[in-house]
Structure 1
C-alpha cells in the first residue's frame, strides 16, 4: 500500500500511538516515537511500511515488558514467556530482551538474589524449595547456585521452626513434633536440617512449660 502520507492522527484512546493515513486510507498504527520522523506529504514505499510495522512490533513488545518490570524484577525467561503469550515473533522477543539486558533491566543473577532475599524476609524457604522456584523462573543451574551461595539455611530454618511452634502452640505435645516437621518439610527444608532443630525447640518449649507450672504452683501455695 505504497503512497503519500495524507494524515497523522493521535489515537483517541491511546495518546502514545498515531494512526497513519496513506492516500486518504488508514495504513498502519504506530508508536508516537516512531511517527515523530514522519510528516504529511512524505512518500512511503511498501518496504517503508513493512519496516515501520516491524519496528512498531518491537516497541509494543518493549512497552509490555517494561510494564511487567514495573511491578517487580523478572527473569529473562519470564519476559520471554510473557511476550510469546502475546504472540510476539521470536525475533522481536530477542530484540526486546537484548534492549532490556543492555539497559540493565534484565539480569538473571540479580533477579535470583532478589527472589531469595524476598523469600527470606517474607516467606522463608529451604534450599530445595528455592532451587525449585528459581528453576521454575527459568534460572540456570549455575546462576541459581551462585545466588544460593548467600543463603544461610539454618537462619531460615529457625524462623520457620519458630513460626511453626507458635502456629501449633495449642497442639498436644504428642502431635506437635509431627506437625512442625511436616510444616518445615513443605517449605523445602531437609530432614537433616529439621530434626535437630525441632528437638531443640521442643526441649525449650518443655522447659518453659515446666517453669510456668512451677510459677503457677508457687503462686497457689503463697495464696
Structure 2
C-alpha cells in the first residue's frame, strides 16, 4: 500500500509541473494563439508600449511574423496604444515624480516610443508649468542638514533638480529662491558663495548625459 501524500506535498508537486509564464511558448499549430495569450497576460498587469511587448515576445521565443500580426490587431482595437500610453506617462511622471521634459523624453525613448509621439506628448508641458513644478518639488525638499551652510544646501538642492532633468539655470534659480525664502536670507548674500566650479561642472555634465 502506497503512503498517502500530504496536501502540502501535492501542491508543491503541482507547482513544479506547472509551466512558468516566463518560459517560451510551447510549439503550437497556431502561433498567433500563443502570442495572444502572452500579450493578454502582460497587458493585464499594466499598459505597455508596442516595442516593450515586441521585445517581451522575442525573449519568449514567439514567432516574429505572428507577433507583428497580433500586435497590429491589438493596436486596431486599442489594446496597444503608444499615443495614449505616452500622454499618460508624461502626465503621471511629471506630476508624481516632478520629472522635467528631458528626463521624460529619455524614459520614453528607452521604451521604444516613436520620437514624434514623444514630442507631441511633451507639448502639454510648457516652460512656465515646468518651472512651477520644479518650484513645488524644491519646496518639499528644502532643508538644512546639521552643520550645513546655506550655499551648500543650495548646491545640493540644485543637484537634486538636475537629476530630475531641469536645466542648470532653473536648478540654481529655484534652489536659491526657495532656500533663501525659507530661511529668511537675502539671495544676494549666498550668490557669491554658491557658484563653485565643481558644482557648475557637475550640473553641466549631467545635462549633457541626458
Q: TM-score, normalised by structure 1?
A: 0.65
| Alignment match, 2:81 | 107
Larger Rg: 1
CA contact (8 A) 2:94 2:100 kept: no
Residue of structure 1 aligned with 2:41, choices 67, 79, 88:
67
Change (3 A) 1:205 1:68: same
| Alignment match, 2:119 | 145
Note the residue ranges of structure 1 that are not aligned, 5 or more in a row: 1-11, 15-28, 31-52, 209-223
Q: Distance in 1 between matches of 2:105 and 2:151?
A: 33
CA contact (8 A) 2:35 2:66 kept: yes
Q: Which has the higher strand share?
A: 1
* Aligned residues: CA RMSD: 2.4
Task: Say whether residues 1:203 and 2:177 are aligned partners.
Answer: no
Cα deviation, residue 58, structure 1: 1.2
Q: Distance in 2 between matches of 1:180 and 1:98?
A: 46
Higher relative contact order (CA 8 A, sep 6+): 2
Note the residue ranges of structure 2 that are not aligned, 5 or more in a row: 1-16, 20-25, 186-210
Residue of structure 2 aligned with 1:89, choices 50, 59, 63:
63
Q: TM-score, normalised by structure 2?
A: 0.68
Residue of structure 1 aligned with 2:161, choices 184, 191, 196:
184
Q: Distance in 1 between matches of 2:132 and 2:70?
A: 39
Runs of 4+ in 1 over 2 A off after TM superposition: 168-172
Q: Which has the higher helix share?
A: 2
Q: Distance in 2 between matches of 1:78 and 1:155?
A: 32
Secondary structure at the counterpart of residue 207 of structure 1: coil
Size of the aligned set, in residue pairs, is 160
